[in-house]
Amino acid sequence: MGMLEGKRGLVTGAGSGLGRETCILAAREGARVGVLDIDPEAAEGTASAVREAGGEAIVCEVDVADASGMESSVARVVECFGGLDWASNNAAGGAGDFKLLHEIDDRTWSRTIDVCLKGVFHGIKYQVPAMLASGGGSIINISSASQFKGEAFLGAYVAAKGGVDALTKTGAAEYSARGIRVNSVAPGGFETPSLIRYFEKFPEFRDRTVAQHAMRRVGRPGEVAEAVIWLASERSSFVTGACLQCDGGVLVNSHML
């Protein structure tokens, strides 16, 4: 029996990278999955991959920054699957070109916060009532290892991700007694389309990025999916308010080695 047998879930930003792998693994573990993304073609690609893996998927086109879009997407998942047991708030975007803090324009700052932080808030806001009505659940927000130490040129993004971890702990404080666990996963560098694009633009950063990880490699998207699915499942039944670093040792790396 799969870890998520019969469980009804959704993933935001599911059209690519870590979100797509999470949907595919969830399907292999027996879940039905709502594939939410701003890019409907990308979401359809993920839904096809889920069906190929023997799972059931529905696609919802949504901008997570838009509260009403998130509300109707969650409602649609609940209507199609009959409830909601788990959700991963994974979508990120809007960070724009790399800029120092004093160079970031207001529009880029606001869009990054709206997608990466407010999008997670919108997720929690509409997922919680659906999970309470379903008898409990598990929410997994995707933050970033970069928020623990700050990251040059990514000011708005790391600020948003720090907010995601604060929101996660607050969600755990508010809902754990009512049967909803709220946790986050903080990835290090993962070879997803966004990181591949970054390496294409700045080839010299590949070796430096690898060297930042104590394991001396970047992650495979399926490795984050494993962490998310574990947190979504009952196997992590006493874990709430945690930030699970899935980062190949970025935060324990030593310059001595």
Positions in the binding site for ligand NAD (CB under 6 A) = 12-13, 15-19, 37-39, 42, 62-65, 90-93, 115, 142, 144, 187, 189-190, 192-195
Give the residue with the Cβ less far from ligand NAD, 90 or 236.
Answer: 90
Judged by CB, which is closer to ligand NAD: 65, or 104?
65
Q: How far is the CB of 90 from ligand NAD (least distance, A)?
A: 5
Closest CA to 187 of 234, 228, 154: 228
Catalytic residue among 126, 157, 175, 198: 157
CA atoms within 13 A on the CB side of 237: 4
How many whole angstroms separate alpha carbon 99 and alpha carbon 11?
A: 29
Q: Which of 144, 236 has the CB closer to ligand NAD?
A: 144
CB-based contact 36:13 (threshold 8 Å)? yes
Q: Which parts of the chain fold into alpha helices (H)?
A: 17-28, 40-52, 67-81, 106-113, 119-134, 146-149, 155-175, 193-201, 205-212, 221-232
Q: Is the dihedral of CA 197, 116, 98, 61 positive or negative?
A: positive
**Burial letters 185-210, b for 16+ CB under 10 A, else e:** bbbbbbebeebeebbeeeeeebeebe
Q: Catalytic site residue 126?
A: no
Token couple for 105: 């324009």
φ, ψ (nearest 5 deg) of residue 98: -70, 125
Residue closer to ligand NAD by CB (options 160, 179) is 160
CB of 12 to ligand NAD, least distance (A): 6
To ligand NAD, the closest distance from the beta carbon of 208 in angstroms equals: 14
Q: Which residue is nearest to ligand NAD (CB)?
A: 17
Indicate the residue among 127 and 144 with the shorter CB distance to ligand NAD: 144
Q: Nearest approach, Cβ of 252 to ligand NAD (angstroms)?
A: 16
Q: Is 3 helix (H, G, I), strand (E, B) or coil?
A: coil
Shortest Å distance, C-beta 46 to ligand NAD: 8
* Residues 190, 18: Cα–Cα separation, whole Å: 8
Active site residues: 157
